Chains A and B, each alone.
Chain A
Amino acid sequence: MKTDRKLLMLIAVFGLIGLAPMLIAQDSLLNIIIMTLYAALLGQAWNILGGYGGQVSFGHAAYFGTGAYAVAVLQVQFGINPWIGLVAGGIAAAAVGAFIGFCTFRYGLRGSYFALVTLAFAEVLRILSNSVDFTGAGVGLLIPLERSAANFQFVSKEGFFWVIWILTFAAFLTVWKIGNSRFGAQLMAVRDNEDAARALGVDAFRVKMGAIMLSGFFAGLAGVFYAQYFLYLDPHIAYGAAISVESLLVPIIGGMGTLFGPLLGAAFLHGLSELSRAVIGDAPGISLVLYGVLLVIMVLFVPRGLAGLASHLRSGKPGQPRAEEGKGHA
């Protein structure tokens, strides 16, 4: 019953968002919604692994950048259609996820060790993409402007809106499904207590591998969309720390391990970013300063994120951090 309500709510929310192109004539406003959906997609990708799986990643740029470079390189170097690149980008990012997952989970890396290794992988990929010719090295890759829907380059923002709407909706539906599946239950069990989950016969390695590949796939799709939207990529954009920070900040602010958290976090962050731009102007680095301050405030005062705050206001119960195992009272 509760499950169906969540699904209905999800359909209703995305239905409402889907009205945006009809109600908003201004390109700049539509752009904000597009970028919010894009951030929600990236955040939801992180949320699968970090929120539902408890494997906090500092290096989601590795998947984002791989997706972005996959579509750009296939297009620029091999003339392959970017719609094919969209699928290829997702798969390539999932493959990077599988590689990183194998190298880390196979050897039992958890917590801060896992987080640091993911950061290192993203850095390695940034350095590699900065050093080889087919990625355009430090100069980057400029995707030639050939506006047509068949070429994943739309004349108006509306086309891009529908692409990111579909991708983000698909990611949210996937996460809804995870929350109601055996895989999801096992993933959350591994998050809460890996040894207890293993004692019940849960194959923790397989479950975490599934999560990292799925997470990588959706982060890769976000990268593909970014590349097609801005038509330019360089190693700093694709594999830079800013992407990794944004991907984890969105669900932390919105609510880790919740279905709607990444959407709330993305809307809040982009709202704040626009507000700061209007008030302070477009000073370089100001958004990162704001993000840092916000992160400290959220962790200290709203540890369950905006989704937790909303459920607290609804139920009247305190918004405590997610429960830790084994804290019952005798």
Chain B
Amino acid sequence: MRIPCPCCGPRDRREFTYYGASDYLDRPAEGADLEAWDNYLHLRDNPAGVTRDLWYHDPCQAWLEVTRNTVTHEILSAHPVSEVSA
């Protein structure tokens, strides 16, 4: 599996660390109700198909939001989290 780092180009999976679903980018606002926090912390989809998750490219120290297909293992896109959340 190779992930196209927007900074370094396509790199081997060994250079990356998996963090979790990209749901982590949508942190509930302060004062959000318990259900929102429960969803944020614990509820995850488990799709057979396209999913989005967060990967860290250790060598260049960039967090990426990677869109990939869990069925075909195809990597569809990778964007720096700094741009996604800006």
Bound pair (A, B) = no
Residues of B that sit less than 8 Å from A by CB: none
